[in-house]
Amino acid sequence: MLFLEDLLRQERKRAKEQAKIEGKIEGMIEDILDVLEEYGDIPEALQSRIMSETDLPTLKKMFKSAVMAGSMAKFEEYLESL
């Protein structure tokens, strides 16, 4: 029984950590889109690309680029280099 309890505890911990990561990803995507909306309408293809990204370090780079870009066109140029 102790082994099963340990497995369940480990699985709950893993699930909690995964949920935390997913929450960070969702928040980062929302932040990127919020910044880009300041530059105008976000093209559907661009929005889809951002929303499908699941790598947190890449999303952090995207966010920094969105803040510094100053325009949708400059941000799209940056994405071409990823």
- Two tokens, residue 72: 């949708």
pLDDT at 29 over 70: yes
5-9, 29-33, 51-55 — which is least confidently predicted?
5-9
Domain limits of the chain?
Answer: 2-80
- Amino acid 82: pLDDT: 78
- Amino acid 1: pLDDT: 65
DSSP string computed for 6-73: HHHHHHHHHHHHHHHHHHHHHHHHHHHHHHHHTTSPPPHHHHHHHHH---HHHHHHHHHHHHHH-SHH
Q: Are 28 and 65 in contact (CB under 8 A)?
A: no
